[in-house]
Amino acid sequence: MSVAGAGDARKPSPRACSGVKLFVAFALVCFTTSSGLLYKVAQSKYGGFQFSTASALTMAEIVKFLLSTSFQIVEVLYFQRAVGGKERSAVASATSGPPWHATAHILALACLYALNNQLTFYLYVVADPGTIQSFKVAGTLVVAATQCLCVGKRFSWEQWRAMIITAIGVLIVQYNPKTTSARYAPKVYGLLVFSSLLTAWSAVRNEYVVKNFAVGLNVQNMILYSGGASLNVFAFFCLPNPSSADASIGFLEGYDALACGIVCVNAWVGLIMTAVYKYADAVIKCLACDFSAVLMVIISSIFFGLTPSLSLWCGVVIVCYAIYAYSSAPAAPADDE
């Protein structure tokens, strides 16, 4: 018997479900925007990362692991009090082994996240935050296509149209009418595309793992974050790190308030994304990131020297409209049994 199973008798109302989806999407927008701004401020102040990005990711994964462990213990203690069962302790439940195939899927997902997180740090060294986030949100269509091909999820034409309009709006935001050449070298755009594909595939795999394995959500997170911490420790000791200003920097060197803020925001973003996959879906997550990208473009045009233009603001309006259109579009009709 699981906590989720105990709650099946009283399912939440559609209004409550919509409220939960709205809350987790809003939280994701806030934390994603805060993360991008912290990366930008750190880059503007120091001209590069003065701390080890591998150590920062390791500490963020450890924080997420500890939070997930605490949530699991509290959840099991609450469940035992509710049903009056004392045959299993909270620690025993938290450490009970999931099926090996579920563990393999979760660790594979940890590898995807570890690679993409390190790549994201490097991209912040060679590109601006607005471009990075815009390329990531362009993965909305990739997520939807992957869900259709791999897990059989269906979308209505109105939803597809909203996602296509979102992608067009993102492209318009990135267009610079004052130049006729690309802003960065082809290598940078190749890395941005690769990062977008990693983001999209990770989103689909995360939603699949959360919703299809009979393993508690907190236990899944404990495996995911412990695997991520181990991979980043391995990267610190065994792999070169082009994102750090000094190749010989120590594990705990160079940390100040901004660096600690990056660690904290990364820790909480992971937990909020897990809530999005649990209570919404991967496309909702991508649309929330779309809105975050628009906010970052607006903030950058005010505080960080991004030159505004008519095309930029037209793109902002298009993206906002597309997000509204997706949220109000009817779902695809279910197949007849």
Categorize the per-residue pLDDT at 3 as very low, low, confident or very high, splitting at 50, 70 and 90: very low
Tokens describing residue 161: 């149209």
Residue 334 within any structural domain of the chain: no
Which residues have C-beta within 8 Å of that of residue 122, sequence separation ≥ 6?
Answer: 191, 242, 243
How confident is the model over 164-220, as pLDDT tens digits?
A: 887 787 777 767 777 666 567 778 888 888 887 887 788 778 777 877 777 777 888
Q: What is the pLDDT of residue 336?
A: 47
Q: What is the pLDDT of residue 326?
A: 73
How confident is the model over 141-172, as pLDDT tens digits?
A: 677 777 777 667 777 888 788 878 877 877 77
Categorize the per-residue pLDDT at 8 as very low, low, confident or very high, splitting at 50, 70 and 90: very low
Q: What is the pLDDT of residue 231?
A: 94
Report the candidate in 50, 30, 18, 43 with the shortest Cα–Cα distance to residue 253: 50
> If DSSP codes are grouped into helix, strand and coil, which group holds residue 49?
strand
Categorize the per-residue pLDDT at 318 as very low, low, confident or very high, splitting at 50, 70 and 90: confident
**69 to each of 95, 207, 218, 220, how far by Cα in Å?**
9, 20, 7, 10
Residue 42 within any structural domain of the chain: yes
Instruction: Please give the model's pTM, rounded to 2 decimal places.
Output: 0.74
Q: What is the pLDDT of residue 61?
A: 92
Segment of 55-69, 179-193, 269-283, 311-325 carrying the highest mean pLDDT? 55-69
Residue 79 within any structural domain of the chain: yes
To the nearest 10°, the Cα dihedral for 149, 152, 156, 160? Answer: -30
Q: What is the pLDDT of residue 115?
A: 93
Report the candidate in 283, 261, 216 with the shortest Cα–Cα distance to residue 28: 283
Tokens describing residue 269: 């973003």
Residue 288 within any structural domain of the chain: yes
Q: What is the pLDDT of residue 298?
A: 79
Contact 191, 123 (CB under 8 A): yes
- Give the Cβ contact number of residue 104 at 10 Å: 10
Q: Which residue has the higher pLDDT, 21 or 95?
A: 21
Q: Which residue has the higher pLDDT, 32 or 187?
A: 187
**229 to each of 55, 117, 221, 225, 315, how far by Cα in Å?**
9, 12, 12, 6, 38
Q: Which residue has the higher pLDDT, 90 or 121?
A: 121
Percent over 90 (pLDDT), the chain: 8
Residue 3 within any structural domain of the chain: no
Phi-psi map region of 306: left, alpha, beta (phi>0 left; psi -120 to 50 alpha): beta
Write out the residue range of the structural domain in which residue 192 sits: 15-328
What mean pLDDT value characterizes the chain?
76
Residue 103 has pLDDT above 80, yes or no: yes
Residue 273 within any structural domain of the chain: yes
Tokens describing residue 209: 């793992």
Q: Per-residue pLDDT averaged across 57-74, rounded? A: 89
Place of tokens 């990366």: 39
Question: What totals of helices (H) and strands (E) does the chain contain, helices first?
Answer: 13, 0
How confident is the model over 273-298, as pLDDT tens digits?
A: 767 767 766 567 667 777 787 788 77
Residue 194 within any structural domain of the chain: yes
Q: Which residue has the higher pLDDT, 135 or 96?
A: 135
Residue 97 has pLDDT above 70, yes or no: no
Q: Which residue has the higher pLDDT, 205 or 335?
A: 205
Q: What is the pLDDT of residue 4?
A: 44
Q: How far apart are CA 72 and CA 96, in angstroms?
A: 12
Total domains in the fold of the chain: 1
Q: What is the pLDDT of residue 227?
A: 93
Residue 127 within any structural domain of the chain: yes
How confident is the model over 248-258, as pLDDT tens digits?
A: 787 888 888 88
